[in-house]
Structure 1
Amino acid sequence: MDHYLARQPIVDTDRNVIAYELLSRNSEENVYSDQDPHEATRRVLETAFHVMGLDYVSHGLPVFVNFTRDLIVNYRQLTIPPGSLTIEVLESIEFDEELLKALQHLKKAGYQLALDDFNCNSSVHGIPDILRTTDFIKIDFRAPFNQQQCTENLAKRSGKKLIAEKVETFEDYQRALDSGYTYFQGYFFGKPEVLYKKSTSLMIDDQIAVHLPHL
């Protein structure tokens, strides 16, 4: 069986790679083509942690992975150990009490959390509670500038680490540095890189498929 995923570096102020965001891929073509985000995330986790391994995928560094609402609220099914995984919560996910309780549980269990493409829209339910559970706020540098500033101010007041994403030019990088960002991600530092590994499926008791990577 063929396994693919992509990784994009996240760097610090000295441009040292401190983590990778993992992205779903179905082939060597470096594009996202999944119709089911839930299945895409599940496959990324399986490929990274159980088929390829983090030594290969990220050289042992932590990884960031986008999670769907279903995966977050059904956190009891998550078998990935905390410490190596940062769960990204997309802006498109509906925030309510059920989601907040799940995030609080994940935080208590030791997972780090990042709000991805988050903005300071006051209509979002429970912003103070959401911010208390998270470690990072990712801000899209292609978003309107006033939205970036509003979210930056909110993140700084809450003491959260800022990640500038979609940083594509030196000017973007310099502005993020001047604005107090801690981490950075985007084409200026590296495009997503496709990783590939082949495995053989081994059935146990005719029920459980274990993928053995080819060495």
Structure 2
Amino acid sequence: MMVICKQAIFDREGKVAFYEVLLQDRSKGKYPEGLDPLKATSMVIDMLVEIGPERVGNGKLVFVNVPAIFLEASLFDLLSPEYVGIELVENRRINNELLDAIRELVSRGFKFSVDDFGFEKVDYLPLLGKCHFVKINLKDNPYNDIELTEVIDILKSLGKGVIAKNIETEEEYRRALDFGFDYFQGIYLSKPSLLKDTRTIAFLKSTIIRMYNAIRSRDVEGLTEVIEKDVGMSYKLLKFVNYMSKNKFSTIREAVINLGLENTAKLAVVVALSEVFAEEQEVQLWKRALFRASLAEKMAEVYSGGSKDKAYLLGLFSLSNEVLGENPADIARKLSLGEEIIQAYENRLTHLGFILSLVELLEDTEDEVVVSKVARILNITPERVYEMLLEAREEADSITAQSVA
């Protein structure tokens, strides 16, 4: 089982300077064998988007291992340099495209670290002028003690912070201090601590394809509609946009417009690469959530004073205790959905709360007496209620049918 961990990196005074976030095979305590670095990075970024890097690092910089192709595709543009640093993990020859991508990210304020640096690695030397930190493996490097001291002195004279990694004993820690390293990382100082397993909020397989089609057509309304039909993607988008922006957005359309088509496409790529697809059991929960959302929207259209957009989101996240593992009101606060939706979850006597109660009432029954009562409340015919139920079920079925494995 793969887990996402963070490990503290300490300064010379023994204080936490920053963190590294990494994937581990829980049973072996090391990077999972055979895992594509691009997928690993996408899984970590997906987690950072959901949790928020400022929370992961307790306000300190969090370094993420990133392969070159991720930078060249501009996918790191989605994150803020205030809380996220980049540790380049790359074995292939450094090219101009990579250097240009690094130069652009540095100009935006990102901090770079180069892992397992050595002056004998000629291909790595162009990175030296771009990076802020250099990591050297205390146990496995090509230098004797005198050479290592000289290398550290040269790097520090160039303004680089030098990190000793893989410190496992007190003796190794003392040696690293004597060598003059600036920062220290290893299980002697701090073991990687579990953040979560890699099961981030899932999404429907069909959503990614439909998102790309809408983005290619530059169809904001179509893109909004696609995202609205997926609980997981709606959660990711709202969480990400509200993390990135000082303004808070409570509808999917506002979030898409604020993020823009290009960045929404990048977010879709990262999420797709993580391959956290909804499984059969989750798809059935999605179907229920979509049914509730659609029916709540239709009720709001006919119920005096109803807000379609708010009613839809109300229904969509009403099963979040089962889908996302959190109370619906807490999710609404986290996603800045607005006080009206929060109150609806906590107090069914509110306008939207009453609509949600009617939706729940009709979810498991189409009893003629119940339908007639709901029809009188909404001031419509029982036939129209049956039509709304059928339309909501067909919509939920059609969206989720393509995503069942």
Query: What TM-score, normalized to structure 2?
Result: 0.47
Structure 1 residues 1-215: aligned runs within 5 Å? 4-25=3-24, 30-33=29-32, 35-47=35-47, 49-75=48-74, 78-121=77-120, 123-124=122-123, 127=125, 129-144=126-141, 146=143, 149=148, 151-196=151-196, 200-201=201-202, 204-206=227-229, 209=233, 210-211=235-236, 214-215=325-326
Which amino acid in 1 is paired with 2:41?
T
Partner SS for 1:6? strand
> Could you say if the C-alpha distance between residues 30 and 206 of structure 1 is closer, same or farther in structure 2, counting changes exceeding 3 Å?
farther
8 A contact 2:53–2:84 mirrored in 1: no
| Alpha-carbon shift at residue 168 of structure 1 (Å) | 1.3
The 3-state SS of whatever aligns with 1:64 is strand
Higher strand share: 1
- Following superposition, the deviation at residue 151 of structure 1 comes to 4.0
Q: Report deviation, 1:93.
A: 4.0
User: How big is the shift at 1:31?
Assistant: 3.8
1:124 aligned counterpart, secondary structure: helix
In 2, Cα distance between equivalents of 1:214 and 1:115? 37
Show CA shifts across 1:119-161 (max 9, x none).
1115326x2x421211100111111351771642441342211
Q: Which runs of 5+ in 2 are unaligned?
A: 205-226, 237-319, 327-405
What displacement does 1:214 show?
Answer: 3.5
Partners of 1:141 and 1:165 within 8 A in 2: yes
> How far 1:46 sits from its partner (Å)?
1.3
What is the root-mean-square deviation of aligned Cα atoms in Å?
2.8
1:26 to partner: Cα distance: 6.7
Aligned residues: 211
Q: Name the aligned partner's letter for residue 37 of structure 2.
A: P
Output the amino acid matched with 1:190: S
Q: How far has the Cα of 1:50 moved from its partner?
A: 1.9
Which residues of structure 1 form unaligned runs of 5+? none
* Alpha-carbon distance in structure 2 between the residues aligned to 1:193 and 1:55: 16
- C-alpha change, 1:175 and 1:38, in structure 2 (3 Å) is same
Letter in 1 for 2:143: N
Q: Supply the AA of the counterpart residue of 2:163.
A: I
The change in CA–CA distance for 1:72 and 1:200 in structure 2 (over 3 A counts) is closer
Structure 1 counterpart of 2:179, one-letter code: S
Of Structure 1 and Structure 2, which has the larger fraction of its residues in helix?
Answer: 2
Q: How far 1:14 moved relative to its partner?
A: 1.7
Deviations 1:159-186 (A, max 9, x none): 2111111111222212221222111100
Provide the C-alpha distance between the structure 1 equivalents of 2:105 and 2:228, rounded to a whole number of angstroms: 32
SS in 2 for 1:143: coil
Q: Report deviation, 1:76.
A: 5.3
Q: CA distance change for structure 1 residues 202 and 71 in 2, over 3 Å: closer, same or farther?
A: closer
1:13 positional shift: 1.0
Q: In the aligned structure 1, how far is the partner of 2:201 from the partner of 2:122? A: 49
Hey, what's the Cα distance between the residues in 1 that align with 2:87 and 2:201? 30
Percent identical pairs in the alignment equals: 28
In structure 2, do the counterparts of structure 1 residues 77 and 86 end up closer, same or farther at CA, with 3 Å as the change threshold? closer
Post-superposition Cα deviations, 1:106-131, rounded to whole Å, max 9, x if no partner, equal: 11111000011111115326x2x421
The higher-RCO structure (CA 8 Å, 6+ apart) is: 1
- If the length of structure 1 is used for normalisation, what is the TM-score? 0.84
